[in-house]
């Protein structure tokens, strides 16, 4: 019988879309690839969100000061309290919602697996709607969204999906331009629960998860923020900053997944 590893910490505990009473997650964190050599347990989306939050709490102090300095070098600005707060809030948003594309019906039904492409678009919208107006806001939103887009970069490289790492508009259009991704019951509740877990309710105030996102919208968003980074005058500093954020997401995501998907943790 399936049981949740973090039910006492979950805002959706025993509510409509909680999987405890039905014996399996109602909204999954990943699609199990069955392998007789390595059994994996099913993992609820919010269970993974909570495990990622725990890893974020452990790791943020090791990363955040260097990330602030690297972003300041990239933008050629001085570090101040506004910058520190904006970067910490931005990082909290992308850690919380790096997998938000998994809440789409298309991912849940197994019709579309590249959830990070959807996530990057939505995260970018959240950042633009939530971060205060600053001279560096667009670049901060772009680099955080790019890190969300690339958080499965190792998987892309292992499968030789090189175009996904640095896509052209033509490639993105051919890949997802004619698709659309829908969100409905359960998605909204899990989005709000994620914000509660990460204490983001006072940060994300003017954003609601859309009912549908078109592939054309995603192409425009990803193409624009990648272009803005590629054309940056301080490109080497941008790459170093981006790589550091991707590393942070990867460490959090991988360690949370190892705990949530292994029977050894039960």
**pLDDT tens digits along 147-194:** 999 987 655 555 555 555 567 778 889 889 999 999 999 999 999 999
Whole-model pTM over 0.85: yes
Residue 44 DSSP label = B
Contacts 24+ apart (CB under 8 A), 225-228: 225/120, 225/124, 225/141, 225/142, 225/145, 225/146, 226/142, 226/146, 226/149, 226/166, 226/167, 228/138, 228/139, 228/142
- Return the CATH fold of 7-265: Hypothetical protein af1432 (1.10.3210)
* Per-residue model confidence (pLDDT) at position 163: 58
**pLDDT tens digits along 109-154:** 999 888 999 999 999 999 999 999 999 999 999 999 999 999 876 5
First to last CA, the chain: 12
Phi, psi for residue 44 in degrees, rounded to 5: -70, 145
Ordered by start, the domain boundaries in the chain are 7-265
- The Cβ of residue 106 has, within 10 Å, a number of other Cβ atoms equal to 18
* Per-residue model confidence (pLDDT) at position 158: 52
Average pLDDT of the residues in 234-243: 90
**pLDDT tens digits along 19-46:** 998 899 999 999 887 655 567 889 999 9
Task: Let me know: does 3 contact 20? Beta carbons within 8 Å.
Answer: yes
In the predicted structure, residue 63 carries a pLDDT above the cut 90: yes
d(CA 33, CA 221) in angstroms, rounded, equals 31
DSSP result, 196-210: HHTT-TTT--S----
Q: Which of 44, 40, 42, 41 is nearest to 9 (CA)?
A: 44
**pLDDT tens digits along 76-113:** 999 999 999 999 999 999 999 999 999 999 999 999 88
In the predicted structure, residue 255 carries a pLDDT above the cut 60: yes
Degrees, nearest 5: CA angle 162-167-168: 135
C-alpha distance from residue 37 to each of 33, 40, 158 (Å)? 11, 10, 21
In the predicted structure, residue 73 carries a pLDDT above the cut 60: yes
């Amino acid at each position: 019988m399936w049981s949740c590893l973090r039910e006492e910490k979950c805002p959706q505990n025993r509510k409509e879309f909680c999987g405890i009473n039905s014996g399996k997650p109602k909204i999954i964190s990943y699609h199990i690839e069955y392998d007789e050599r390595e059994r994996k347990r099913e993992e609820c989306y919010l269970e993974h969100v909570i495990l990622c939050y725990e890893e974020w709490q452990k790791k943020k102090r090791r990363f955040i000061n260097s990330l602030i300095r690297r972003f300041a070098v990239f933008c050629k600005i001085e570090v101040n309290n506004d910058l520190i707060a904006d970067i910490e809030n931005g990082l909290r948003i992308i850690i919380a919602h790096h997998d938000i594309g998994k809440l789409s019906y298309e991912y849940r039904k197994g019709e579309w697996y590249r959830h990070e492409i959807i996530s990057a678009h939505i995260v970018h919208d959240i950042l633009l709607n939530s971060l205060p107006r600053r001279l560096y806001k667009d670049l901060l939103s772009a680099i955080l969204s790019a890190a969300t887009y690339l958080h499965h970069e190792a998987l892309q490289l292992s499968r030789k999906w090189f175009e996904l790492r640095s896509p052209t508009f033509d490639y993105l259009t051919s890949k997802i331009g004619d698709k659309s991704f829908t969100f409905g019951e359960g998605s909204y509740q899990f989005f709000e629960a994620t914000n509660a877990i990460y204490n983001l309710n006072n940060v994300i105030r003017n954003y609601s998860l859309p009912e549908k996102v078109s592939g054309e919208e995603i192409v425009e968003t990803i193409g624009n923020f990648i272009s803005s980074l590629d054309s940056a005058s301080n490109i080497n500093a941008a790459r170093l900053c981006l790589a550091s954020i991707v590393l942070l997401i990867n460490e959090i995501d991988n360690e949370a997944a190892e705990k949530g998907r292994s029977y050894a943790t039960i």
